[in-house]
Each structure stands twice: as C-alpha cells, then as structure tokens.
Structure 1
C-alpha cells in the first residue's frame, strides 16, 4: 500500500469521525413538551424548576407534561429541559375540568405592536417562552420558563399579566422552598 492510499484512508476516517461527531452534536437534546392550561385562562404563567417540594414530572406519550395550576405558577421537581427542540414538539392546550383539550396553535415570539389589526385579532396565542434565571433568595438561582396566553389585544392591555416576583408569583412563597432547591444542587 503506497503512502497516498494510506493518507487517503486516514483522511476518509477522519472525515467520517467528524461527520458522526457533528451529527451527534446536532441531535435534539430536549424532551417534547405538553402544556395544559386551565380552560379560559388568560394571563401570565410561570414554571419554576428544580423545586424538591414541587410537583413530580409526569409524561404523556413521551412528552413532559406541564399542568399549569389556576394561579399560573407551577413549581416542579424536574430540571428545565435544556437543549434544542423543533416547534412541533412543543404543544399548548386549554384543558377543561372534564379533561377535554383544545389546542392553542398560535405562537408569538416577536414584538407586539398596538395596531388595529392586532387589536381585532381574536385568535389565542402563546407569547414568550424560553428559559430564564431568577434569584428569589440571595445567592440562590432558580430556572424558570415564563409565558403569556391570550389574544393580542389582551396581551397589549396586560390582562392577567403578573411578574414572577409579584405577590401572585413567588413573593409570598417561603424562602425555605428555594433554599432547599439551592442546597440540593
């Protein structure tokens, strides 16, 4: 075997290794997600992760289920499900008390301008998303996901909007909940 053939084989092996490495790095590392929102709920909702006293993570058809409570703040034991994911693997539903579901197909992730067209759009949307960090207790950072559900007009008027640090958010929760979470890291 001559040196050109050996060099070509090494090149091919190195290229194959690189392709496999890049393909593995591009795979989606995030589990599918299913958000169940109380029927008719309008406003902010927040998920606070890694809370030992929170609800255990449940699954439905291999998707993480986030069952949003009536107050809009879900404390959950699981981590924040980091990584990339395609939009079709994140689903939002209104769920009635008897378990019937109605999918919320609208997503809005850019700026929302106060225009007559946006005011007259009666479709329900999910606004926001993504992972953020809060510091409810000094030197204790907790991951959250923050959303808003409603029409564009409701979002523009801040109907049901509340900040995670407000009384409706986490402000009235005892510090021990968060200290326990940070001590478990």
Structure 2
C-alpha cells in the first residue's frame, strides 16, 4: 500500500463478550460462568483470544479462569504476537495457561510443538486434558470453547471433532465462533 491508498475494513464484529472472572455473554442471549476456556485459532484468529487472555491476566488475583490455546500457523515466522502470548501465559503460569503451537508447513528440526494441521489428537490432548479428567457432565458445563480462524479449519476440523469428543449439546451450548 502506498500513502493515500484506500482500503475497506469492517469491525469490530463479535457477539461474544468476556465479562471477567469466568463470566461471559453472547448476543444470542446465552450467558454463563466457566472455569476453563479452550481456545483454538489459526493465524490472525489469535486477536480475540489474546484480548481475553489479557483480561484474565489483568485480573489474575480475582479471575481464576484456566486457559488452553491451540494456535495454528503455516510457519514459525507466521506466529502472530508470539512473544506477547507467551509472556501472557508466563504471567498466568503453567497451572492456569497451556499453549500448543501447530505448524502446517515449515517446521524447525528442534520444534517441540505440533506439526501438520490441528486434529482430533491435538484437541483431545491439549484443549482440556491438562487440568481435568474428561467425561463428567459437571466438568463439561464449566468449560467453553472459543474458535477463530479459517472457515475450513473451523467447519471441517474443529466443530466435527468437538462434537465427536464432547457431544452435540456441548457444541451447541458451549462453543462460540468469532
């Protein structure tokens, strides 16, 4: 772009609001309180997730919400705001924040995170398993999942896998797409 060029933008658009201390609301009228937030995002889909992590970090003495973030990108150089998200995670600590990067293309030899595309195994291992045994209805009711990324990732991977792992009712009531 050159100085004087014009572009069309939209936003902010969103129907999900994190109100702090695990409280959330949605424009559909759904609202609730969660103890754990699982986030799955790709590329610039990190931005709404980062805002929520920042809100939790800013009130970490009062907000005990735990966060897991699965973050997909093509290459390591594509990881948006890597230092900022890792610093926020360090601020919350490993007992409250879990980050799992996934690279679909170039992967360094010493890469300690995921390779390929986000899949069922990664979601099963990194979304909630760190803090609780899966399966109980009470456990599921205290969790929400936030999704933001390319439509194929959301529609062909995340939503079908979450439905398989947690059931249609959980997805209908506890999963929010940006």
* TM bucket normalised to smaller: under 0.3
Which structure: greater helix fraction? Answer: 2
Which structure: greater strand fraction? Answer: 1
Higher-Rg member (1/2): 1
Q: TM-score, normalised by structure 1?
A: 0.26
